[in-house]
Amino acid sequence: MKGETLIPKHGGFRNLKTFQLSELIYDVTVRFCDKYIDRRSRTHDQMVQAARSGRQNIAEGSVDSATSKKIELKLTGIANDSLEELRLDYEDYLRQRDLPQWRPTHPALVRFKAVRCATVDEFRRWVADEMKRAENTENTDRTPTNTDRQAPAQMENRVGLCPSVVVANGALSLLNLCCYLLGRQVQALADAFEKEGGFTERLYRIRSERRRG
């Protein structure tokens, strides 16, 4: 490839949507575990480490892409595996406590996706808004005119709604999106590596071009 450089642009991981999501997931998970999981338990450490591994491996893979596309591909895959493990932990938390795991069409998740939280503070505001909304809905449902029949959406909002349920389902929504995007990122890296090779192939092409020149 004419004009190809030996060390391409690399390390722009902060601009990656997957890194931004994984960082938010990490921050949310640390706070979730400190509040709802016994700090002495293995689950606490495993969830925090899985969240950290997802974030760190995305960043390290982006930096290492300068000299090894193979390592970038491997680390991005590890990041995906770590976040998949974390997703299972959140699902286990809900299932083992008989708490609801919301469907993607749950009204609270629809509102969550519309907000597009980028920081922990924005995530916290969403949780607070959902708790306040649920409280208002419950007070309304207690009126005489609403005691006999309630809309399905209202019932869905009320069932099992406590802060840990809201946080866990919000985290799962972030994980679903991040894992989906990481899967696409891994596939794109694999396709590029198959087509263009890595550092060794790039070095060979540049040397060959200079010799011809």
**Residue ranges per structural domain of the chain:** 13-212
Measured distance CA(122)–CA(130) in Å, rounded: 12
Measured distance CA(120)–CA(20) in Å, rounded: 12
Residue with the two structure tokens 């469907």: 103
Provide the pLDDT for residue 190: 86
Provide the pLDDT for residue 4: 46
Contact between residue 76 and residue 189 where contact means Cβ atoms under 8 Å apart = yes
Sign of the CA dihedral with 76 first, then 186, 88, and 131 last: positive
End-to-end CA distance of the chain: 13
The list of the chain residues with pLDDT below 50 reads: 3-4, 6-8, 10-11, 144, 146-160, 199, 202-206
| Of residues 151, 164, 152, 157, the one with CA closest to residue 138 | 157
Measured distance CA(70)–CA(72) in Å, rounded: 5
Kindly report, residue by residue over 127-147, the tens digit of the pLDDT: 999 999 988 876 665 554 544
